[in-house]
Structure 1
Amino acid sequence: MRVLLTGHQGYLGSVMAPVLQAAGHDVVGLDTGLFAGCLLGPAPVDPPAFDVDLRDLTDTHVQGFDAVVHLAALSNDPLGSLAPEITYEINHRASVRLAHLAKEAGVRRFLYASTCSVYGSGGADLVTESAPLRPLTPYAESKVRVEDDVAAIADSGFSPVFLRNATAFGYSPRLRADIVLNNLVGAAVLTGQVRVMSDGTPWRPLVHAQDIAAAFSCALTAPIDRVHCAAYNVGTEINNVTVAQIAATVADAVPDSRVVISGEAGPDPRSYRVDFSAIRGAFDGYEPRWSVADGAVELYQQYIRWGLTPARFAEHYTRLAHLETLKAAGKLDSTLRFERIGAEHG
């Protein structure tokens, strides 16, 4: 299958591209390279790719593909809150336009990376895909809008699937440190403290980047009549954990570290536990392999192996800080476009 993978140089894309290639797919990437330099360890071997902003796509970029796997987005809540209008422009409008272009080009499958944060505050019960969507941030709201708008154009020739990823964790050659487990392990390595800014009580569903990639790989080949226009939570119930439990797991993985729950950020309204049974039923043989404890050990080992430094942790692996650094250096304009955007390469 010939697959267009948007965001292939991001945190998840750098893990997913080789997984899809190993499954036998012909993968072509699409990315501007905003986060291509956020490396921890050697740079991965990227697939051939289009160097183009998602907002500037034309029909030529989607011609000749059997499927689109759409990961590209401004991908964390602080950034979305800082620049909500750009978040909607990229995450919502450009994503929906991509779906329309793909449909017009005859692309049959469209896999969309949504998020479990669409559920907002889910209460004590496990939330399923049929639960009310209560997004609390511009990032999560943009995901809900794309799901609605893309579902509206689904038909017998265009089959979207919405994969609502739990909060990702784990090593990627292009690292993110502004997601909870990755952040806490990094802080423990650098400072000896597993510092929790909230009171530690919110629930978070977590899933390893490799397990997300495996879910997308399964979705590409699942019978269309089984998964057409369906949403699936991506993760596993054993990784429904509180932030305090995550912190304790990190302290177990990082020698000579200790948990500090400061509570200085106040209560966090984003708290939810998620039911993941639907994806196991839809995708034969799919079962996430990584526990939170496994991920904490992996991250500790990789941080030590590649010499994590405070500067890179704070500036390169945090999305908001990295973009602000690029803007300060004159490389990005106010709309988060590179001052010079290249053409097709690879």
Structure 2
Amino acid sequence: MKVLVTGHRGFIGTVMVPMLLEEGFDVTGLDTDLYRYCTYGDEPMDVPSIYKDVRDVTAKDLEGFDAIVHLAALSNDPLGNINPDLTYDINYHASVRIAELARSVGVQRFLFASSCSMYGKAGQDVLDETAQFNPVTPYAKSKVLVEEDVSKLASESFSPVFLRNATAYGVSPRIRFDLVINNLVAWAHTTGKILLKSDGTPWRPLVHIEDITQAVICALKAERDVIHNLAVNVGSNEENYQMRDLAQFVKETVPNCEVEYAEDAGPDPRSYRVNFDKIHRVFPEFKTRWTARKGVEQCYESYLRFGLSKDDYEGIRYKRIAHIMNLIEEGKLDRNLVWQI
């Protein structure tokens, strides 16, 4: 199967591509490589690639592929808050357009990296795929809009799949330090503090990026009638945690650290628990291999190995919003995030 992975040079994509290759898929990437100066550890695996902004994709770029795994997006809430229009242009309008073009050239499967963050402000309910959406951020709202529009494109020859990933974590060549587990461990390792920006009570479902990839592999291999216009939460029921639970895992893993609450810490409206029964029902072979505790250990071991410092992850190399703003100030990107070099 010939598979195009958009965003293949990003946090998830750089882990997903080698795993897809191991499964025997013929993989091509498409990415503007916004974080080309941000490699953590080893360089991402090199595969045939189209270096292009998703807003500029043409039908010709998509010809000949059996499936598209669409990861490419602005995945940082603060960046989306600075310019919500940019988030909607890239995450929403470009995604729907790629799906339309894919259908027009005969691509049979379109796997969209959606998000459990669409459920947003949910209180104490445990939410399955039928739950009402209550997105809080432009990023989450864009996911809702894509699902609504792309699901209408489903036909006998075009099958959309919406993989609603739980909050991701894990080590990657394009690591993100704004994600909760990666962030808490980084603070603990470099400062001795486990910094909680909420009061510790909000719930989050967690999933490792390798387990996200396992879900993608299942969706690529499944029969069409199983995945056609399917929306499914990606994670496991046991991996719903309150923030204070995650902080405890970090405290038990990183020596000599203590929990500290930010001065303005309070309840976070983004609190949701998610039910993952459906993915295990439709993909019986899907098994999450990671737990949040193991993810904390993976991050800590990696930070030790690479000698991570606070200046590293708080600086312009790895702090994505600071990195983007620096590229704009240097004239390498314009304010629409288009390369100028």
Normalising TM by the smaller chain, what interval?
Answer: over 0.9
Residue aligned with 2:113, SS: strand
- Deviation readout 1:170-196 (Å, 9 max, x if unpaired): 111110000111001001111010010
Counterpart residue number, 1:291: 291
CA deviation after TM superposition for structure 1 residue 121, in Å:
1.5
Counterpart residue number, 1:97: 97
CA contact (8 A) 1:178 1:317 kept: no
- Deviation readout 1:260-287 (Å, 9 max, x if unpaired): 1235143210000000010011113101
Q: Which moved more, 1:308-317 or 1:242-251?
A: 308-317
Residue aligned with 1:42, SS: coil
Counterpart residue number, 2:142: 142
CA contact (8 A) 2:171 2:299 kept: yes
Partner Cα separation in structure 1 for residue 144 and residue 202 of structure 2: 22
Counterpart residue number, 2:332: 331
Counterpart residue number, 1:47: 47
CA deviation after TM superposition for structure 1 residue 123, in Å:
2.1
Counterpart residue number, 2:156: 156
CA contact (8 A) 1:333 1:339 kept: yes
CA contact (8 A) 2:191 2:310 kept: no
CA contact (8 A) 2:9 2:44 kept: no
Q: Which letter does structure 2 place at the counterpart of 1:182?
A: N
- Deviation readout 1:48-78 (Å, 9 max, x if unpaired): 1000000011111100000000000000211
> After superposition, where does 1:195-214 map in structure 2 within 5 Å?
195-214=195-214
Residue aligned with 1:160, SS: strand
CA contact (8 A) 1:58 1:101 kept: yes
CA contact (8 A) 1:119 1:135 kept: yes
> After superposition, where does 1:1-346 map in structure 2 within 5 Å?
1-262=1-262, 264-314=264-314, 315-340=316-341
CA contact (8 A) 2:193 2:259 kept: yes
Partner Cα separation in structure 2 for residue 48 and residue 310 of structure 1: 35
- Deviation readout 1:128-157 (Å, 9 max, x if unpaired): 000001111111000000001100111010
Q: Alignment length, in residue pairs?
A: 340
Partner Cα separation in structure 2 for residue 166 and residue 317 of structure 1: 22
Residue aligned with 2:311, SS: helix
CA contact (8 A) 1:204 1:271 kept: yes
Q: Which moved more, 1:303-312 or 1:104-113?
A: 303-312
Partner Cα separation in structure 2 for residue 236 and residue 317 of structure 1: 29
- Greater relative contact order (Cα 8 A, min sep 6): structure 1 or 2? 1
Q: Which moved more, 1:84-93 or 1:263-272?
A: 263-272
Q: Which letter does structure 1 place at the counterpart of 2:331?
A: G
Partner Cα separation in structure 1 for residue 76 and residue 217 of structure 2: 24
Partner Cα separation in structure 2 for residue 36 and residue 288 of structure 1: 30
Q: Which letter does structure 2 place at the counterpart of 1:202?
A: P
CA deviation after TM superposition for structure 1 residue 38, in Å:
1.9
**TM, length-normalised to structure 1:** 0.96
Q: Which letter does structure 2 place at the counterpart of 1:55?
A: R
CA contact (8 A) 1:198 1:263 kept: no
Q: Which letter does structure 1 place at the counterpart of 2:214?
A: A
Residue aligned with 2:297, SS: helix
Partner Cα separation in structure 1 for residue 136 and residue 23 of structure 2: 36
Partner Cα separation in structure 2 for residue 22 and residue 250 of structure 1: 32
Q: Which moved more, 1:175-184 or 1:72-81?
A: 72-81
Partner Cα separation in structure 1 for residue 265 and residue 30 of structure 2: 37
Partner Cα separation in structure 2 for residue 166 and residue 79 of structure 1: 20
CA deviation after TM superposition for structure 1 residue 310, in Å:
2.1
Residue aligned with 2:264, SS: coil
User: Structure 2: any 5+ residue segments left out of the alignment?
Assistant: none
User: Structure 1: any 5+ residue segments left out of the alignment?
Assistant: 341-346
Partner Cα separation in structure 1 for residue 97 and residue 238 of structure 2: 37
CA contact (8 A) 1:128 1:274 kept: yes
Residue aligned with 1:260, SS: strand
CA contact (8 A) 1:200 1:263 kept: no
CA deviation after TM superposition for structure 1 residue 126, in Å:
1.2
CA deviation after TM superposition for structure 1 residue 198, in Å:
1.0
